[in-house]
């Protein structure tokens, strides 16, 4: 392969257009990437957190990764979370993804990353839901935390063939949950506001957590029934007893059992990781089967290799469609 010498920039509008049309492809890409990770054909170091003494709620996270699939590629997602942006107002999260050519080490593309990050999260959750729930049908879906990630997950599910009878949404900011329901109804779905997380969860087939909770607030081990599948995307909503009562599936054991996630707290309490039944790679490969005798909880920490895989897909589509801006003189000549 010829060494890359160009540097492309792909902005938000071009990425939005590509992602809106490519959800089925992205779902399969995420499945393939999890299998590569399961087969130890990825390098996915710990995320690196930059925090600030004068901005205690803010952080910027670096997720470097390498993916050795059909093409050997490396890169990094650099994603900021500044919750106070809501007062400006601006989105809480902003990000870029940089892709590197493994033949030369040169970066060859920079892409707006917040949409890529949201879609890879949504694809991961959708894939886990299908595997753990044995299909793409739910009479009722509970959504706890009605922000952008919840919207991304729900939209991805519906776009990839899920049939949902009704949504129930709860958020600590009631107006946000009501607006979430309004947008679903405008798109043709049934949706109702729930005044508590427990109210939303009761009777739901599938439960999606997409909050900003810093510590568990749901502690009752009888919270879920064996009929329920739980997508614990926000990682810190559920108490130790809830975790221990369920079948637990993670995206990566080492990554997820840290940073005071609910599963990390369960490890600290029990002194063991025996309550983790396997990974999503185990589910895809068939080594692990859903346990119908208890609730099934998927806790994804979020892997940089997914960002790199989706960014590569988007970049290729952008170049082919003319949506990438090329900077020919970005690098210093030899």
Output the pLDDT for position 249: 98
Same domain, 253 and 320: no
Closest to 85 measured CA to CA, from 98, 94, 76: 94
10 Å Cβ neighbour count for 94? 17
For residues 139-152, average pLDDT: 97
Same domain assignment for residues 297 and 311: no
- Judgement on whether residues 171 and 274 belong to the same structural domain of the protein: yes
Averaged pLDDT, 3-27: 92
Specify if 158 maps to a domain: yes
Q: Has this prediction a pTM greater than 0.75?
A: yes
Residue at 285 is within a domain: yes
Is the per-residue pLDDT at 1 higher than 50?
Answer: no
Contact between residue 77 and residue 62 where contact means Cβ atoms under 8 Å apart: yes
Total count of domains within the chain = 2
CATH code of the domain covering residue 28: 3.30.1780.10
Q: Is residue 231 in a domain?
A: yes
What is the average per-residue pLDDT within 48-62? 95
Domain with 85, as residue range(s), is 7-116+305-327
> Do residues 179 and 318 both lie within one domain?
no
Instruction: State how far the Cα of 146 lies from the Cα of 172, in Å rounded to an integer.
Output: 9
**b/e map of 120-141 (b: 16 or more CB within 10 Å)?**
bbbbbbbbbbbbbbeeeebebb
**127 occurs within a structural domain:** no
Residue 200's pLDDT is 98
């Amino acid at each position: 392969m010829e060494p890359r010498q160009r540097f492309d920039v792909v902005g938000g509008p071009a990425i939005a257009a590509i992602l809106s049309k490519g959800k089925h492809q992205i779902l399969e890409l995420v499945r393939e990437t999890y299998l590569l990770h399961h087969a130890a054909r990825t390098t996915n170091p710990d995320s690196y957190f930059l925090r600030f003494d004068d901005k205690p709620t803010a952080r910027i996270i670096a997720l470097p990764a390498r993916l050795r699939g059909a093409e050997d590629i490396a890169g990094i997602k650099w994603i900021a979370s500044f919750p106070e942006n809501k007062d400006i107002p601006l989105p809480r999260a902003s990000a870029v993804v940089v892709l590197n050519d493994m033949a030369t080490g040169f970066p060859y593309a920079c892409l707006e990353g917040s949409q890529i990050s949201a879609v890879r999260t949504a694809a991961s959750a959708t894939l886990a839901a299908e595997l753990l729930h044995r299909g793409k049908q739910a009479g009722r879906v509970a959504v706890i935390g009605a922000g952008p990630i919840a919207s991304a997950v729900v939209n991805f599910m519906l776009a990839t063939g899920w049939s949902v009878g009704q949504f129930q949404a709860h958020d600590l900011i009631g107006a946000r949950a009501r607006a979430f329901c309004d947008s679903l109804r405008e798109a043709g779905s049934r949706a109702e506001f729930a005044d508590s997380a427990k109210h939303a969860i009761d009777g739901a087939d599938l439960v999606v957590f997409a909050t900003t909770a810093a510590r568990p607030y749901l502690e009752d081990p009888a919270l879920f029934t064996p009929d329920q599948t739980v997508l614990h995307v926000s990682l810190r909503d559920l108490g130790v007893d809830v975790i221990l009562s369920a079948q637990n599936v993670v995206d990566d054991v080492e990554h997820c059992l840290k940073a005071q996630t609910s599963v990390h707290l369960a490890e600290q309490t029990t002194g063991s990781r025996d309550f983790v039944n396997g990974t999503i790679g185990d589910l895809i490969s068939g080594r692990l089967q859903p346990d119908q005798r208890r609730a099934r909880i998927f806790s994804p920490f979020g892997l940089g290799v997914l960002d790199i895989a989706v960014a590569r897909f988007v970049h290729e589509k952008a170049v082919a469609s003319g949506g990438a801006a090329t900077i020919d003189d970005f690098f210093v000549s030899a």
